[in-house]
Structure 1
Amino acid sequence: MTGEDVTPAIGIDLGIRRSCMAVCRHQDKVEIFINEGGYKTTASYVAFTPTECLTGDDAYDHYTTNLFPANTVYEVQRLIGRRFNDPEVQKLIKRCSFKVIKGTYGLPKVVVEYKGKQKEYSAEEISSMHLVHLKNLEESYLGTTVKDVVITVPPYFNDSQRQATKVAAHLAGLDVLQIIDKPIAAAIAYGLHKKTTETNVLIFDLDDVAFDVSIVTTDEKGRLTVKATGGDTHFGGKEIVDIMVDHIVKEFNKKHQMEMDITENSRTLRRLKDSVQWAMQDLISNSETTISIDSSYNAIDFSTSITRDKFEDITNSFFSKCIETLASFLQDAKIYNTDVDHIVLVGVFTRIPKVQQLLREFFNVNELLKSINVIEVVAHGAAIHAANLIHKKREKAKTLPIVPLLQTVTLSIGVDAHDGVFSVIIPRNTPIPTTNEKIYFTTIDNQRSIPFNVYQGERSRAKDNKWLGEFEVAVSPAPKGKSKVTVAFSVDADGTLNCKIKELTTGLKKEFIINHNKEKISHEVIKKMVKDAEKYKMEDKEYIKIMHARNVLKEYIYNVQRRMKTIGSTDKTRLHAKEIKKMETAIKAANQYIDKNQELADVDEYKKVQDQLEKLCVDIIAQLV
């Protein structure tokens, strides 16, 4: 697919607990990356110590020693692209060992002790640290720089979560060719994207912390689509491990006539879980195994043998739930068992013979697609897709005409008209010379002028950008929104910023120059400003949402106040003075809330204030209708 002399694109299965990477360099022949420990998957953990930041398997090993559990971050995928009050975030907070707080604009922030100081990190920053580690592993394996990647995410990820994943990748120095769903990648791994007939493929994905089932369809053009997705994001192989640990504890207590309290000894619990996982691995290919732990509890050695039949009997409730979840998913998706053409196994726990047996019986089939390692299959498909994309990209580049390089606007230029939001007039990378304009309105009644501050940068909040200058435009006094001005910015070949203003009510014009290159911004500063914009992309996005909710509330208050002014003497007699007072008090409280909170409130909090105000005002004003 790609040549030896060309830097290949990489497929990354960015897992909740472990990640896997692959490269496709020769006609769909995929290589899975091996990390420094010799493993084909790498722990999605980041740990902070008094001296360094650990990532990958080193971070996981550090976590299991229980030295600083509060400073080890995991399952960051459950945080990324979400708000603090999201139920998924709250679930993670209740059971995780690290601290999560409500950060700016209601986004979650991870708090850790690092090098003797308390630090706060966004989910995107934590994820980028993990991705930097993966990038370094890839480059060490390939002996070349890695930039282009395809990253897989769960099929239920929304746009915000996908965008946040892109932000994390960009912070790690990676260029994302595409974010694709894990089930799509698994289907590609088996060449199902090459089919020219309509096909339904069930992707059965069971790992240690989540259980996802999806139906992927193919059409006559080979297009893959996730038709339906379901499962349980908080049910996985860890449940079966817990069942086995409970069984072993009971067996130990019965044999030694004592109460083993593993809740007080995390080291013993970790050793028990590790032993169970090794035993389960052994039972995949053997009918019997032994679980042995030296000095398991109170210096007592423990050993017990277990057959595959006994294991399946002990954990029967786990297998029953898997099939019940699958059946419920198919029913909700209105898909019959006979509609499924292929079943693809994904995730380490689909290797268990009982899982495979139940799937064969449920669908009445003999074959399951499992020839590709179930732990590697998603990364495998992502690598093939990455190779296809990079091939198309290079073929397209060959057909494009050579265009001379043009000088461009290095950073976006715009204004803060009134609400703190950066209103871009000339976007970054616009070829110069260029001209663009926008219309701005008055925001209060009888406003006599509109002040403008000019900024340059990529952040959504004006004050986070570089201030270039200011100007003020006189306008005719009129009701809010009636007077308006056109602000036209043009940048000439010398990089000089010219401002032309026209007051549309009177037709009066004003013109001046802001030489925004008088303090030339260095290339390094520009790169930092662009990187900061990417780093804080999610915060900026939330800021825009919050300011919109705030402005909507202000607009509603304004409209209610205008309505109250139009209530005539007859209307007033119909409205009890007490009711009018209620409205005035509610409006005053809403205004005070706006003044107090400014940018600190959540979108939901602004909406709550507006909903309460609307309910009161609508009920009272309705009496006049």
Structure 2
Amino acid sequence: MGFDIGIDLGTTNSLCAVFRDGQPELIPNVHGSVLTPSVVGVLDDGSMLVGLPAKELRVTHPAQCAWCFKRWMGTNRKIRLGGRDYSAPELSSLILKSLKDDAEAFLKEAVTEAVITVPAYFNDHQRKATKLAAELAGLKVRRIINEPTAAALTYGFHEREAVKKLMVIDLGGGTFDVTLMEIFEGGLEIISTAGESHLGGEDFTNRLVATVLKQLGKEYETAELKTPLLVARLHEECERAKRQLLDAPQSRIRIPNDDGEINEKAVSVLVTREAFAKASKALVDRLKGPIGKVLRDGQVDPTEIDDLILVGGATRMPVVVDFVREFLSAEPLAKFNPDEVVALGAAVQAALISDNAAVSDMVMTDVCPFTLGVELAKEFGNYLEPGYFAPIIHRNTTIPVSKEQIFSTVATNQLEVTINVYQGEARKVKDNLKLGELSVKGIPPGPAGQPFLVRFTYDINGLLEVEACIPETGRKFQTVLTNHAADLTPKEIAAALEKMRKLKFYPRDDVKNKQLVLFCDRVVGEISPHLRESLEGAIDAFERAMSSGDREMFEVARSGLLIVLSSLGIEYESPEAEADQDDNELS
């Protein structure tokens, strides 16, 4: 049988796991460790080093090594090694190829497919770069999932009977994610997620390096340029001290010379937990924003959270544990190794995709981590200004989902419009990420304000279907944006679109709903003027709900309208009720 592996492609360390014999299992590398340092090096003869050997080379020859390149994913940044420029996907592919080789040696079978995790707040470019890295390593990506989601899958797999709200706080080597979720009867529902893609354990180490250098009268950037060997060795010393402070109240940092050597006469600097906490305060304060956003988006009070789960090696730091405990007034948990829990969850996800019998009772729902919408022009006085963002699917909306909105033309006799699709949270599209566009033609001539409908349908594969419809003619336009979809084949895309079709909800086309609106339009002119406002408000809410494509919103608005009618002493009988009555009379 073939195996799909789960991979945690980390900033500092990477690791992989496989689901077999009913359990997720970590895969050791050639050195016997499950952690492979995310470091790449080039020797003088041009040969490449990956993982632990490259990490050792970094101490003595930092100019010949690259690390923390996960942070460059989705950018054009390159680093020169051995006379050649490497991009972040190329460097990451070397890590993935190493993991793939280790998995094949461990499983004694070819490995060609994988589930790969990324920070929840990775944007479209960063996710595409991750997929490119996998392709370069000879891996097909079955799915890219968010790291906190993978961590929660590990907990959900082992606690299937639990009913609880969890908050996963994931602070890795270079990224920070927070996800709020709920476990119930084998189901895992993501409620909200947020994060920061440039905050992690490496920043805490670098802050300690900068603090020590400042005591020596040096600036970090200047020292890195003038004495790179000193900084490289000092970084190793600070990383060691940071780990010692996990269990000890203080640690000593030895100061290397300009050549990066530490001799017997080397001076040392004492660092205490308190001093490290003070130096790290600005970094710890940055944790507050994403945590607050997750609570607000999920409309959850901290007291409603049953378990606080710590993920990522950096969450071991007392300064982080103390902050989480104080900020959320709860005791954080780490039932599973924070370094390993994401890879294990990726293996569980691979089992879910493969319909493994051991996870047949598990169901997972995820959320869209970014807002998806279109560009529109806003009217200010007598002029129109383009470039504004109109959300259609808001961040942290449970997926799969289908939403619709009404837009209109901005010029007289405007016959066509280009719908520009964006991802992001900014008010203006220039600060968001463009995903694609759709041309709509054949709009009937007329004054500005001719309506057209735009529908977004988004699924768990990351497939975004964009549709537009001209109500007057019924003509429809459609495009499928596969930016987020993990290497789906045309057949897989077709199957996904068929599933998405079932999500779509068109209450405005239902005769029953048209009948209700017509009935209300007639009643408005018949009731007392001082009662008209409440009825018109309910009708407007109902019509907005019909255009939203949101089934729950529609049902609430319809019930609200019927309640208002009833409160006015007006009874409405739907067409079905009248038909049933006619049938009874005939019988």
Q: TM-score range by the shorter chain?
A: 0.5 to 0.7
Of 294, 312, 321, which residue of structure 1 is paired with 2:286?
Answer: 321
**Aligned partner letter, 2:324:** L
SS in 1 for 2:267: strand
Q: Does 1:12 align with 2:42?
A: no
The CA deviation string for residues 50-73 of structure 1, in whole angstroms up to 9 with x for no partner, is 53233333334444433644xx45
Q: Does 1:233 align with 2:203?
A: no
Q: Which runs of 5+ in 1 are unaligned?
A: 1-5, 83-88, 100-111, 255-259, 397-533, 538-625
The aligned counterpart of 1:245 is 209
Contact 2:11 2:173 in 1 (8 A): no
SS in 2 for 1:269: helix
Decide which structure has the larger Cα Rg and report it: 1
CA distance in 2, matches of 1:281, 1:67: 21
CA distance in 1, matches of 2:296, 2:355: 40
Contact 1:184 1:224 in 2 (8 A): no
Of 128, 143, 163, which residue of structure 2 is paired with 1:178?
Answer: 143
Closer/same/farther in 2, CA of residues 125 and 209 from structure 1, 3 Å limit: closer
Contact 1:153 1:181 in 2 (8 A): yes
Q: Does 1:57 align with 2:52?
A: yes
The CA deviation string for residues 438-480 of structure 1, in whole angstroms up to 9 with x for no partner, is xxxxxxxxxxxxxxxxxxxxxxxxxxxxxxxxxxxxxxxxxxx
CA distance in 2, matches of 1:221, 1:159: 30
Q: Does 1:270 align with 2:235?
A: no
Of 149, 157, 169, which residue of structure 1 is paired with 2:134?
Answer: 169
**Aligned partner letter, 2:148:** P
CA distance in 2, matches of 1:386, 1:335: 30
Contact 2:5 2:114 in 1 (8 A): yes
Closer/same/farther in 2, CA of residues 337 and 128 from structure 1, 3 Å limit: same
Please report how far the alpha carbon of residue 354 of structure 1 lies from its aligned counterpart in structure 2 after TM superposition. 2.8
Contact 2:253 2:269 in 1 (8 A): yes
The aligned counterpart of 1:384 is 348
The within-5 A match list for 1:208-357 is: 208-218=173-183, 222-225=187-190, 227-252=191-216, 261=223, 263-293=225-255, 295=257, 301-323=266-288, 325-331=290-296, 334-357=299-322
Please report how far the alpha carbon of residue 375 of structure 1 lies from its aligned counterpart in structure 2 after TM superposition. 0.9
Closer/same/farther in 2, CA of residues 146 and 230 from structure 1, 3 Å limit: same
CA distance in 1, matches of 2:244, 2:122: 34
The within-5 A match list for 1:542-557 is: none
**Aligned partner letter, 2:247:** S
**Aligned partner letter, 1:229:** T
Percent identity at matched positions? 32
Q: Does 1:138 align with 2:132?
A: no
RMSD (Å) for aligned C-alpha atoms = 3.7
CA distance in 2, matches of 1:290, 1:68: 27
Please report how far the alpha carbon of residue 330 of structure 1 lies from its aligned counterpart in structure 2 after TM superposition. 3.1
CA distance in 2, matches of 1:208, 1:202: 19
Q: Give the TM-score of the pair, scaled to structure 2.
A: 0.53
CA distance in 1, matches of 2:67, 2:51: 10
Of 315, 320, 327, which residue of structure 2 is paired with 1:362?
Answer: 327
The CA deviation string for residues 297-348 of structure 1, in whole angstroms up to 9 with x for no partner, is 8975112333333433443333333345533553465432123332211111
Contact 2:207 2:280 in 1 (8 A): yes
Please report how far the alpha carbon of residue 179 of structure 1 lies from its aligned counterpart in structure 2 after TM superposition. 2.1
CA distance in 1, matches of 2:172, 2:134: 24
Please report how far the alpha carbon of residue 372 of structure 1 lies from its aligned counterpart in structure 2 after TM superposition. 0.9
Contact 1:207 1:237 in 2 (8 A): yes
Please report how far the alpha carbon of residue 194 of structure 1 lies from its aligned counterpart in structure 2 after TM superposition. 5.8
Q: Give the TM-score of the pair, scaled to structure 1.
A: 0.50
Of 117, 125, 133, which residue of structure 2 is paired with 1:152?
Answer: 117
CA distance in 2, matches of 1:168, 1:242: 27
Closer/same/farther in 2, CA of residues 48 and 282 from structure 1, 3 Å limit: closer
Contact 2:119 2:197 in 1 (8 A): no
Closer/same/farther in 2, CA of residues 192 and 344 from structure 1, 3 Å limit: farther
The CA deviation string for residues 139-192 of structure 1, in whole angstroms up to 9 with x for no partner, is 223333323422112223355654553443344333433322111110011126
**Aligned partner letter, 2:118:** V
Closer/same/farther in 2, CA of residues 290 and 222 from structure 1, 3 Å limit: same
SS in 1 for 2:286: helix
Closer/same/farther in 2, CA of residues 137 and 202 from structure 1, 3 Å limit: same
The within-5 A match list for 1:536-547 is: none
The aligned counterpart of 1:575 is none
Q: Which runs of 5+ in 2 are unaligned?
A: 361-485, 490-587
SS in 2 for 1:191: helix
CA distance in 1, matches of 2:333, 2:150: 14
Of 191, 206, 210, which residue of structure 1 is paired with 2:171?
Answer: 206
**Corresponding residue pairs, total:** 356
CA distance in 2, matches of 1:316, 1:171: 40
